[in-house]
């Protein structure tokens, strides 16, 4: 590899003083401070700020309406309009999950189940939200359109156990999602 | 050599090969020599060229019904009248390539044959076959147990289309059918390779499987009134290239891509089938056979492969225990070993007996002998476990390491003293017993009342049982998947057990227990830190194992002694001309 030697730029006597540059910076900051006190800061309207610049007073103020459609929040499991659990516990999300946040115990559907021919459903499905990095790989890899990242982002708990979403909680969060491909429906 | 060199230079390659019973074959441009009568697909394997296939299996006949292994073949052209056969500079005739492909599984090689495993024709054929196979195959992969080790998945990545051109409705067939006590059949997934049918017919001699109906409606089924209930039935699951046959035991337990494979051996009988133990975390999920043509071919009996669930039993002993009155209390290892050693020291020689198990490894048996020597007793025995052989892989001796005991203890009958010990106990001559890995009330046929008379009973178990209940000191040990060591099978082959999972917390490996017990009795014992140290001592002691180490045993084992016994299935296989 070639070694390129760089020379430090020579500073003029004015630049050597430093103080003028610091004063210049302070003035810029002061200018923005004045603008935001009068509620004129860039984007303050769009972001529904407190009127003082772009800073929001979270949690009194929230950004929720401005979340983009592709926002990646808490992952959750969904049921479809037929009330079928979409997850078949193929464990691809468990495999792909970079921080290993997902743990699935696969199980078998009972033979008298309405969807017995799907054969498989998770016995337990845990997502450890302390581990989750909201990357969305689980949603991307799912062959059954069963797991989606929601717009919710605020998940709090006072213990580690509380931060683990179990199967019931995941279905509660995910709710019903319509318009998915129902590949398990009988084709006549 | 110097004399023969000029002579061979004159000979044509075909003559040189014929002298050795070989033929020359050109595979993808490279000439190799293979034995005459080799199947083309095997020759390609030797040349390290992969030929995708479904129906072909090394140990079974070739029906040639999947058509996946099509390759292009060529032979030297027949000379026109008046012409002579001409050889090129390399001594081979020019290959005339056939315009149509042939299946490589059901054709054998010939002298000067050419095979192309790639190229436009071959690729096109494979793509076509894949498309046909996938027409009626359901998109079950997310719920199919075979996913991850499915040939159909693998080859469709290489040779399949991204999307289907088939617009009609896929054929409906029976799904989720229980065709045997341990096997589930999904006919929609079946690609009619007939491996399972041929396996049941040719290897097990119990042809219960077959195809019925025609064309796209062909389905695999079991003979009316029969079930796929042979003790070898689960091998059909292993050889099924797709997820048509799945094991009830492993069904939906875990996806295979999570499982770690550990090569080991089976410990349920003297054959010592080579196995792979599939684990995730600290749990064994399944055991499958591993090919070893001197021991188990590619197969393993169901009864043996399924016998691992006890390792994860709730009742598994997980701490050493000392009896206080009628109850046992958990102790730590120092106290348990000290208590046992103290009790043993207090007895005269002739009052102490040691009962080992034929299910123990060589290392443990060697240390047991050291224990007997330290205690100066010659009452050292194993518990015999003889039942009937099934004429295939299950040997009459259900102890996996009888021959190991014979070698290490330098005796012809390691079971000889059991009767004497049993009588000694009921006659109150023997007052202390150390027993490893055996329930004395089980195969050893001791009486519970006799055990209660003992002054000291030290035992080692995985699960609670009658002997443990009567013991003064109980030392829980490690199961077969939890330890390393070696065993000698009925034919005299030294094989290696490998550790697939860790023993439960609070449990020591068996060899460590015996080591500590010996060390507590005799402080002059050499320090043994690794199981390799024990094996080194064994090597010094036993002539047959000279110059061996645990690593040198290798995955397939080493023949160390001749016992005159054979494995029936291997004998049958060697006697057969497959094809």
In chain B, % of residues over pLDDT 70: 98
Instruction: Answer yes or no: is B164 within a domain.
Output: no
CATH of A75-174, one of 3.10.290.10, 3.30.70.3270, 3.40.190.10, 2.60.15.10: 3.30.70.3270
Q: How many Å from the N-terminal Cα to the C-terminal Cα in chain B?
A: 38
Domain end among B58, B83, B118: B118
Per-residue pLDDT, B263: 97
Q: Which helix (H) or strand (E) holds A92?
A: helix A92-96
Return the CATH number at B38. Answer: 3.10.20.740
Among A3-12, B3-12, B193-202, B290-299, the least confident range: B3-12
- C-alpha closest to that of A123 among A148, A150, A104, A142: A104
**B564 three-state secondary structure:** coil
**CA dist., res. B385 & res. B396, Å (int):** 8
Instruction: Answer yes or no: is B266 within a domain.
Output: no
B379 φ, ψ (degrees, to nearest 5): -85, 80
pTM for the complete prediction? Answer: 0.90
Domain end among B54, B87, B118: B118
B147 interface with A at CB cutoff 8 Å:
yes
- C-alpha closest to that of B153 among B229, B54, B251, B72: B54
CA distance to partner chain A, nearest, from residue B253 (Å): 6
- Cβ pair A108:B251 closer than 8 A: yes
Q: What is the number of structural domains in chain B?
A: 2
Which residues on B lie below 8 Å from A90 (Cβ)?
Answer: 141-143, 147, 255
Kindly tell me if the per-residue pLDDT of B21 is higher than 80. Answer: yes
Kindly tell me if the per-residue pLDDT of B467 is higher than 80. Answer: yes
- Cβ pair A95:B258 closer than 8 A: yes
Q: Where on the phi/psi map is residue B321: left (φ > 0), alpha (ψ -120 to 50), or beta? A: beta
**CA dist., res. B186 & res. B174, Å (int):** 7
Which chain B residues in 249-268 lie under 8 Å from chain A, judged by CB atoms?
A: 251-255, 257-258
Give the residue-averaged pLDDT of B404-420. 94
Kindly tell me if the per-residue pLDDT of B174 is higher than 80. Answer: yes
Q: Label residue B6 by pLDDT band (50, 70, 90).
A: very low
Kindly tell me if the per-residue pLDDT of B528 is higher than 80. Answer: yes
Tens of pLDDT, residues A141-175: 999 999 999 998 988 999 999 999 999 999 999 99
**CA dist., res. B139 & res. A182, Å (int):** 13
Query: Domain map of chain A by residue range?
Result: 19-61, 75-174
CA B414 to chain centre: 26
Instruction: Answer yes or no: is B514 within a domain.
Output: yes
Q: Label residue B7 by pLDDT band (50, 70, 90).
A: very low
- Cβ pair A120:B255 closer than 8 A: no
Give the residue-averaged pLDDT of B244-266. 96
Q: Label residue A52 by pLDDT band (50, 70, 90).
A: low
- Cβ pair A120:B257 closer than 8 A: no
**CA dist., res. B570 & res. B292, Å (int):** 10
**B552 three-state secondary structure:** helix
Q: Label residue B579 by pLDDT band (50, 70, 90).
A: very low
Kindly tell me if the per-residue pLDDT of B577 is higher than 80. Answer: no
Give the residue-averaged pLDDT of A54-61. 78
Which residues on B lie below 8 Å from A183 (Cβ)?
Answer: 139
Q: Label residue A89 by pLDDT band (50, 70, 90).
A: very high
CA distance to partner chain B, nearest, from residue A116 (Å): 10
Kindly tell me if the per-residue pLDDT of B361 is higher than 90. Answer: yes
Which residues on A lie below 8 Å from B169 (Cβ)?
Answer: 187-188
- Long-range contacts (CB closer than 8 Å, 24 or more residues apart) made by B74-82: B74/B98, B74/B113, B74/B114, B74/B115, B74/B116, B75/B110, B75/B112, B75/B113, B75/B114, B76/B112
Return the CATH number at B369. Answer: 3.40.50.740
Tens of pLDDT, residues B370-385: 999 999 999 999 999 9
Per-residue pLDDT, A33: 86
What's the mean pLDDT when you consider all of chain B?
Answer: 93
Q: Tally Cβ neighbours within 10 Å of residue B20.
A: 10
A95 interface with B at CB cutoff 8 Å:
yes
CA distance to partner chain A, nearest, from residue B155 (Å): 20
Kindly tell me if the per-residue pLDDT of B516 is higher than 90. Answer: yes
Per-residue pLDDT, B226: 94
Per-residue pLDDT, B84: 87
Among A42-56, B499-513, B534-548, the least confident range: A42-56
Could you list the residue range(s) of the whole structural domain that residue B31 is in? Answer: 12-118
Beta bridge partners of B283: B280
Instruction: Answer yes or no: is B201 within a domain.
Output: no
**B393 three-state secondary structure:** coil
B164 interface with A at CB cutoff 8 Å:
no
Cα torsion angle, B119, B121, B125, B127, sign? positive
Per-residue pLDDT, A48: 66
Q: How many Å from the N-terminal Cα to the C-terminal Cα in chain A?
A: 66
Give the residue-averaged pLDDT of B403-431. 93
Instruction: Answer yes or no: is B4 within a domain.
Output: no
Per-residue pLDDT, B2: 43
Domain end among B79, B100, B118: B118
């Amino acid at each position: 590899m070639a070694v390129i030697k760089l020379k430090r730029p020579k500073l003029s006597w004015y630049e050597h003083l430093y103080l003028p540059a610091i004063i210049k910076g302070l003035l810029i900051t002061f200018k923005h401070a004045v603008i935001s006190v009068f509620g004129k800061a860039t984007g303050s309207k769009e972001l529904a700020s407190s009127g003082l610049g772009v800073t929001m007073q979270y949690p009194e103020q929230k950004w929720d309406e401005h979340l983009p459609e592709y926002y990646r929040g808490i992952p959750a499991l969904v049921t479809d309009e037929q009330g079928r659990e979409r997850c078949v516990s193929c464990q691809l999300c468990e495999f792909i999950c970079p921080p290993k946040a997902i743990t699935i115990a696969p199980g078998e559907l009972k033979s008298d189940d309405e969807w017995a021919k799907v054969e498989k459903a998770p016995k337990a499905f845990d997502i450890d939200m302390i581990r989750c990095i909201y990357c969305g790989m689980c949603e991307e890899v799912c062959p059954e359109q069963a797991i989606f990242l929601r717009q919710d982002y605020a998940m709090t708990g006072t213990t580690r156990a509380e931060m683990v979403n179990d199967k019931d909680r995941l279905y509660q969060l995910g709710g019903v999602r319509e318009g998915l491909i129902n590949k398990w429906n009988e084709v006549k | 050599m110097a004399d023969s060199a000029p002579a061979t230079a004159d000979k044509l390659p075909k003559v040189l090969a014929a002298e050795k019973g070989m033929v020359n074959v050109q595979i993808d441009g490279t000439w190799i020599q293979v034995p005459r009568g080799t199947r083309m697909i095997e020759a390609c394997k030797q040349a390290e060229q992969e030929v995708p296939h479904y129906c072909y299996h090394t140990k079974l006949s070739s029906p040639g019904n999947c058509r996946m292994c099509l390759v292009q073949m060529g032979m030297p052209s027949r000379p026109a009248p008046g012409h002579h056969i001409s050889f090129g500079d390399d001594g081979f005739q020019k290959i005339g390539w056939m315009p149509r492909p042939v299946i490589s599984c059901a054709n054998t090689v010939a002298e000067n044959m050419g095979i192309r495993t790639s190229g436009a024709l071959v690729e096109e054929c494979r793509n076509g076959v894949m498309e046909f196979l996938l027409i009626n195959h359901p998109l079950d992969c997310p719920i199919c147990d075979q996913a991850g080790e499915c040939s159909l998945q693998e080859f469709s990545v290489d040779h399949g289309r991204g999307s289907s051109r088939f617009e009609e409705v896929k054929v409906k067939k029976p799904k989720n059918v229980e065709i045997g006590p341990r096997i589930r059949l999904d006919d929609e997934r079946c690609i009619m390779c007939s491996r399972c049918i041929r396996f049941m017919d040719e290897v097990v001699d119990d042809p219960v499987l077959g195809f019925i109906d025609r064309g796209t409606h062909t389905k695999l089924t079991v003979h009316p009134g029969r079930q796929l209930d042979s003790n070898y039935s689960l091998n059909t699951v292993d050889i099924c290239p797709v997820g048509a046959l799945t094991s009830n035991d492993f069904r939906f337990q875990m996806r295979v891509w999570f499982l770690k494979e550990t090569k080991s051996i089976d410990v349920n009988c003297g054959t010592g089938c080579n196995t792979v133990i599939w684990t995730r975390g600290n749990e064994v999920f399944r055991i499958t056979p591993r090919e070893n043509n001197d021991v188990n071919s590619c197969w393993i009996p169901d009864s043996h492969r399924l016998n691992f669930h006890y390792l994860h039993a709730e009742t598994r002993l997980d701490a050493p225990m000392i009896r206080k009155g009628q109850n046992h209390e958990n102790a730590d290892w120092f106290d348990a070993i000290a208590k046992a050693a103290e009790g043993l020291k207090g007895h005269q020689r002739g009052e102490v007996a040691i009962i080992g198990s034929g299910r123990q490894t060589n290392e443990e048996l060697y240390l047991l002998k050291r224990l007997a020597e330290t205690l100066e007793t010659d009452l050292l025995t194993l518990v015999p476990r003889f039942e009937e052989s099934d004429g295939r892989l299950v040997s009459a001796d259900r102890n996996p390491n009888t021959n190991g005991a014979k070698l290490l203890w330098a005796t012809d009958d390691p079971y000889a003293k059991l009767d004497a010990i049993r009588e000694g106990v009921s006659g109150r001559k023997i007052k202390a017993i150390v027993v490893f890995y055996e329930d004395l009330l089980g195969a050893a046929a001791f009486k519970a009342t006799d055990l209660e008379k003992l002054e000291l009973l030290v035992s080692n178990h995985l699960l609670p049982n009658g002997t443990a209940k009567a013991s003064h000191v109980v030392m829980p040990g490690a199961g077969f998947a939890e330890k390393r060591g070696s065993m000698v099978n009925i034919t005299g082959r030294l094989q290696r057990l490998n550790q697939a999972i860790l023993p439960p917390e609070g449990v020591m490996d068996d060899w460590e227990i015996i080591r500590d017990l010996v060390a507590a009795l005799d402080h002059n014992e050499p320090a043994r830190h690794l199981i390799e140290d024990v094996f080194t001592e064994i090597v010094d002691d036993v002539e047959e194992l000279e110059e061996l180490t645990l690593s040198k045993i290798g995955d397939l084992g080493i023949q160390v002694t001749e016992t005159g016994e054979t494995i029936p299935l291997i004998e049958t296989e060697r006697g057969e001309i497959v094809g």
